[in-house]
């Protein structure tokens, strides 16, 4: 199986089903974990030299970070529902969470020094946009875009309707060459509705030294260390994904594959 496709494991004692680290992904910046917690279960982490954005994929939890109690956040029953709640925890701090209901939680991390205060990111602070035309239409929720404070993390979730494509036409961001392109590693956490479906994701470079087409099932993570990374949702299956991006500069500047850029005109 491809090294770019990461299957969920059985939940460990803390409910963790994914633990992507810079070491496991063989890259430098992005870390990503998923926890499935039972109501009443608790979680606590020191952030160390990384900042964290804890996304409530589903369920409600009582949260605290940076010595501050933020009360109960969350509420949606699944990530296919709108209105994500998240918690930002700076580097060199501690965050804690107690599940008020069964929860699914994404922990997105990237390097930081601890320059910013902890905060809750409420649904009304999340910019929503619909991108594309026809079967390229998809719905984007900008949880932590470059216009909002963080040191290196970028976090976004996307709903791709059945039969549609997203991250399309194919684009890449793998060269530290601003103002034309930025270098950002990226993870995709895929969920399918209904869960028996799969998404198809291709990851490829111009010279095709990397060219893989992956079938991502519900709960899989796809790693995008470099290259173009379009995604298709087959007929009958709605696709949700959570993207985490980070690199040397906190700017999302992508480059479209010239072979397919014509469709934007
Ligand atoms: O517009 C989309 O379809 C989402 C993508 O931009 C996705 O967030 C991504 O690939 C970021 O590089």
ipTM (interface predicted TM): 0.97
Does an H or E element contain 87, and which? strand 86-89
Average pLDDT over residues 201-214: 98
Amino acid 197: pLDDT: 98
Residue in this structure with the two tokens 């309707």, named with its chain if needed: 161
**155: its two tokens:** 């976090």
Question: Which protein residue has the closest C-alpha to ligand 1 atom 7?
Answer: 167
Question: Which protein residue has the closest C-alpha to ligand 1 atom 5?
Answer: 167
Question: Which protein residue has the closest C-alpha to ligand 1 atom 10?
Answer: 167
CB of residue 142 inside a 6 A radius of ligand 1: no
Does an H or E element contain 35, and which? strand 31-37
The answer to whether 254 and 245 are in contact (CB under 8 A) is: no
Cα–ligand 1 centroid distance for 44 (angstroms): 30
CB of residue 186 inside a 6 A radius of ligand 1: yes
**pTM, to two decimals:** 0.98
pLDDT tens digits, 32-48: 999 999 999 999 999 99
pLDDT tens digits, 90-140: 999 999 999 999 999 999 999 999 999 999 999 999 999 999 999 999 999
Distance CA 9, CA 34 (A): 10
Residues 6+ apart with CB under 8 A from 18: 6, 8, 9, 32, 33, 34, 189, 221
The mean pLDDT of the chain is 98
pLDDT tens digits, 223-238: 999 999 999 999 999 9
């Amino acid at each position: 199986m491809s090294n770019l496709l990461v299957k969920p494991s059985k939940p460990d004692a803390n409910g963790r089903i994914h633990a992507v680290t810079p070491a496991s992904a063989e890259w430098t910046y992005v870390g990503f974990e998923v926890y499935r917690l039972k109501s009443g279960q608790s979680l606590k982490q020191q952030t160390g030299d990384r900042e964290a954005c804890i996304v409530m994929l589903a369920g409600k939890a009582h949260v605290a970070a940076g010595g501050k109690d933020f009360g109960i956040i969350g509420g949606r029953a699944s990530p296919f529902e709108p209105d994500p709640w998240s918690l930002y925890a700076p580097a060199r701090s501690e965050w804690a969470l107690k599940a008020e209901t069964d929860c699914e939680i994404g922990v997105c991390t990237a390097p930081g020094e601890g320059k910013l205060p902890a905060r809750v990111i409420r649904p009304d602070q999340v910019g929503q946009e619909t991108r594309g035309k026809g079967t390229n239409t998809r719905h984007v929720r900008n949880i932590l875009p470059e216009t909002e404070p963080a040191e290196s993390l970028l976090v976004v979730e996307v709903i791709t309707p059945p039969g549609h494509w997203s991250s399309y036409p194919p684009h890449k961001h793998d060269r530290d060459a601003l103002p034309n392109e930025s270098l950002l590693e990226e993870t995709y956490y895929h969920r399918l509705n209904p869960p028996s479906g799969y998404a198809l994701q291709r990851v490829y470079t111009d010279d095709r030294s990397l060219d893989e087409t992956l079938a991502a099932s519900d709960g899989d993570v796809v790693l995008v260390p470099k290259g173009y990374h379009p995604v298709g949702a087959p007929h009958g299956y709605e696709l949700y994904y959570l993207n985490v991006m980070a690199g040397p500069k906190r700017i999302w500047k992508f480059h479209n594959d010239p072979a397919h850029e014509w469709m934007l005109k």
